[in-house]
C-alpha cells in the first residue's frame, strides 16, 4: 500500500509538471523534487521519465474505460438518451477529476505526438466504439449517414474542447467546488444539444 501511495505521488507530480512545462520541459529531478522523493526511486519504479509517462497514460485510459463500461452496465435497460446522458456525465467527470493529465494528453494528441498517439490508439478506438453505438441509437439509425457523422464529430469535439482550450477556462475553475460546478453545467449543455438533435430526428421520422 505504501509503495502504491508513493507511486501515485510521483504520477501526480509528473502530471502537474507535464501540464505546466510539457514532457520535454520537465526533468526527472523536477518530478522528484515536486513529489519529495529521491530521483533513484523514479528510476526504480518507472525506469525513467518515458516509463513514467507510459505508466501514467496507460493507467489513465484503463481507469477511464472502466468508468465508461460501468456506466453502460448500470444504465442497461434505460432509454438510449438516458444512457448517453449518463455516459456524458461520467466522461466529463472523469476528465475533470484528472484535469491536468487530461489537458496534457489532449495537447499532445493535437500536436500528433507519436509516443502518446501510439499509446492511446487502442483506448481511443474503444472509447469511440462505445460512444458511437449509443449515439447512433439515440439519434436514429435511419438518419442520414453524413449528418450522423458530422453530429458525432461535434459531440466528440465538445468532450475534448475544455481540455484543449483549457486556458480559456482557467479563471473560472478554481478549487474543487468550481470543478464540480463545471461538470454539472457543462454536462447539462451537452445533454441539451443531444436532446435537441434527438428530437429533430424523431420529428423528421414522424413526418
Q: First-to-last CA distance in the chain? A: 61
Q: Average pLDDT, stretch 148-152? A: 90
pLDDT at 90 > cutoff 90: yes
Helical (H) or strand (E) element with 36 = none
pLDDT bin (cut points 50, 70, 90) of residue 145 is confident
Note whether 118 and 178 are same-domain residues: yes
Tell me what pLDDT residue 207 has.
42
Note whether 63 and 126 are same-domain residues: yes
pLDDT digits (tens, 9 = 90+) for 55-84: 999 999 999 999 999 999 999 999 999 999
Q: Average pLDDT, stretch 33-53? A: 92
Note whether 10 and 72 are same-domain residues: no
Mean pLDDT of the chain: 86
Note whether 148 and 139 are within 8 A (CB).
Answer: yes
Q: Domain range spanning residue 172?
A: 56-206
Q: Average pLDDT, stretch 18-27? A: 91
Note whether 78 and 125 are same-domain residues: yes
Q: Average pLDDT, stretch 93-105? A: 92
Q: Average pLDDT, stretch 120-133? A: 90
pLDDT digits (tens, 9 = 90+) for 154-198: 999 999 999 987 665 555 555 666 778 889 999 999 999 999 988
CATH classification at residue 95 = 1.10.357
Note whether 79 and 173 are same-domain residues: yes
How far does Cα 90 stand from its chain's mean position?
10
Note whether 26 and 16 are within 8 A (CB).
Answer: no
Rounded Cα gap, residues 77 and 131, in angstroms: 17
How far does Cα 54 stand from its chain's mean position?
16
For 187, half-sphere exposure in the C-beta direction (CA atoms, 13 angstrom radius) is: 20
Q: What's the structural domain count of the chain?
A: 2
Tell me what pLDDT residue 157 has.
94
Note whether 21 and 68 are same-domain residues: no
pLDDT at 206 > cutoff 50: no
Amino acid at each position: 500500500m505504501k509503495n502504491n501511495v508513493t507511486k501515485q505521488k510521483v504520477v501526480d507530480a509528473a502530471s502537474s509538471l507535464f501540464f505546466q512545462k510539457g514532457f520535454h520541459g520537465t526533468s526527472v529531478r523536477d518530478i522528484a523534487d515536486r513529489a519529495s522523493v529521491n530521483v533513484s526511486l523514479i528510476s526504480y519504479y518507472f525506469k525513467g521519465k518515458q516509463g513514467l509517462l507510459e505508466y501514467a497514460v496507460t493507467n489513465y485510459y484503463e481507469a477511464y474505460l472502466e468508468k465508461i463500461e460501468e456506466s453502460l452496465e448500470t444504465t442497461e435497460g434505460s432509454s438510449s438518451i438516458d444512457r448517453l446522458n449518463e455516459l456524458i456525465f461520467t466522461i466529463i467527470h472523469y476528465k475533470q477529476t484528472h484535469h491536468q493529465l487530461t489537458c496534457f494528453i489532449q495537447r499532445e494528441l493535437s500536436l500528433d505526438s507519436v509516443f502518446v498517439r501510439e499509446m492511446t490508439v487502442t483506448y481511443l478506438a474503444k472509447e469511440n466504439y462505445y460512444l458511437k453505438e449509443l449515439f447512433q441509437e439515440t439519434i436514429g439509425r435511419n438518419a442520414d449517414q453524413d449528418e450522423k457523422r458530422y453530429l458525432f464529430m461535434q459531440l466528440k469535439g465538445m468532450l475534448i474542447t475544455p481540455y484543449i482550450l483549457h486556458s480559456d477556462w482557467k479563471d473560472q475553475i478554481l478549487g474543487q467546488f468550481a470543478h464540480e460546478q463545471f461538470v454539472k453545467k457543462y454536462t447539462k449543455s451537452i445533454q441539451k444539444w443531444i436532446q435537441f438533435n434527438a428530437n429533430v430526428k424523431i420529428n423528421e421520422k414522424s413526418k
